[in-house]
A and B are shown apart, each in its own frame.
Chain A
Amino acid sequence: MTLSLFIIYKAVLVILVFLISLVIAMYSTYAERKVAAFMQDRIGPNRAGPFGLLQPVADGVKMFMKEEIIPQVSNKFLFILGPSVAMFTSCITGAVIPWGTSLHIAGHDFALQVTDINIGILYVMAVTSIGVYGIMIGGWASNNKYSLLGALRASSQMISYEVAMGLAIIALVMTTGTLSLKGIAAAQTGWHWNIVYQPLGFLIFIICAFAETNRTPFDLPESDSELIGGYHTEYSSMKLGFYLFAEYINMFISSAIMSTLYFGGYNMPFIGRLGLSPNTMAILGVVFLFAKIFFFIFFFMWVRWTIPRFRFDQLMNLGWKILIPLSIFNMAITGFIILVLHK
């Protein structure tokens, strides 16, 4: 493949992934309201367009047309930087996720992954860690006590659960032997999904994913009954939109990562037996991956409308005193079993 073709193909793929994550994040806001309505026996948005399908568009336009208010006492540069960092980091995480195997068109192989770097998981961890800064900077720069409290809570919560998440991933890396997401997905053909080998690791990972995305039951940073809006109390217009939007993109990306790490990614047990051409299989794989992702997004919403919020000390105790020892235990057990079986 020539360099120019390579660049064009990657650019197209990048833009495609970017647009898809934006659209999914937009419609997650709609889905969230519809799911909430369904669970609470209400109707939900139904005014804009058929079944309220244009609601996200209307919300987006509203966000654009609202006045931007930057408080007098705030630090203006950081105030703008905060939501930008939050949005930016959530947009670039998708670059290492394998959305499918590869399409073979006109003698070239087009991998359905923006890039396969051999430290894929570390890239995801690194970028999500930068995401903490978006919230911390925004909350501090607002110069509002509620925002400050929200930002403090958010940052200590996210960093606490990051340790347990890292340890859960280490146990996974021990079973797969690679850090590349493509390698991990490719190894899970048939029924060899990692959830079978790492049930405890997955449990730890999904709890941490909820905490990292600030979703209920870990939504203390923006617990509206005590902190008004938490770190985004002072934000308006598209800056507020960025914070809310980044949360939904993060939800999408973490669903994609959970599906890839533990649920076989684009693999499906029966797919090899159908005798389809490689290109059809690749496209079907993308469909399966998205089905898994949508299930996890629904699961995020399901939990949100089922479980009440933790108290802050309960949250920190769960993270430090239960999840970290549990993940270290999981790691030791995994290592021991693998070594005994491979002797």
Chain B
Amino acid sequence: MDSNGPIDYLPIAITVLVAGGFVVTTMFVSNILGPKRKGKIKLDTFECGIESQGNARIPFSIKYFLAAILFVLFDVEVIFLYPWAVDFRKLGMDGFWEMISYMGVILIGFFYILKKGALKWDTD
């Protein structure tokens, strides 16, 4: 694989500048152009036309949190696989079986969380 120097990342810096500049300018311009007629009711949060009840800083289902934690676990595992996938042919059959056993361990954990019902959405 060919190597990269810092110079290859310079265009990304230019892209970041262009995109960032565009976003900031557009936000600013649209703020200037629009009319400004504020009112108490207008600045209320929208709740289907009825008076809003409390605010949205409320507890939400733990399932979302579980999904996020599981994502972190599995994404880290996916990242471990990338270097292996690039050098996959060089590592040959030995590397393949090692990775299969690694994936096997991961899969045991995966079936454990499935059986535990961590991803069951239709209960409660």
Contact = CB atoms under 8 A, between A and B. Distances in A.
B48 A65 contact: no
Contacts of B82: 122, 170, 173, 179
Q: How many interface residues does chain B have, given as a range?
A: 35 or more
A63 B35 CA distance: 12
Contacts, number: 208
B33 A64 contact: yes
B19 to A, nearest CB: 4
Given A114-B11, A339-B96, A88 B20 contact: yes
A155 B68 contact: yes
Contact of B67 (A156, A170, A242): A156
Interface in A300-324: 312-313, 316-317, 320-321, 324
Interface string B23-48: 11011011101111110101111111
A224 interface: no
B45 A73 contact: yes
A201 B23 CA distance: 35
Contacts of A155: 64, 68
A180 interface: yes
Interface string A183-194: 100000000000
Contacts of A146: 46-47
A142 B56 contact: yes
Interface of B: 1-4, 7-12, 14-16, 18-20, 22-24, 26-27, 29-31, 33-38, 40, 42-48, 52, 55-58, 60-61, 64, 67-68, 70-71, 74-75, 78-79, 81-82, 85-86, 88-89, 92-93, 96, 99-100, 103, 107, 110, 114, 119, 121-122
Given A72-B44, A95-B15, A146-B47, 13 more contacts: A91-B22, A116-B8, A118-B3, A144-B52, A147-B56, A148-B60, A170-B81, A173-B85, A174-B88, A179-B1, A238-B30, A336-B96, A339-B92
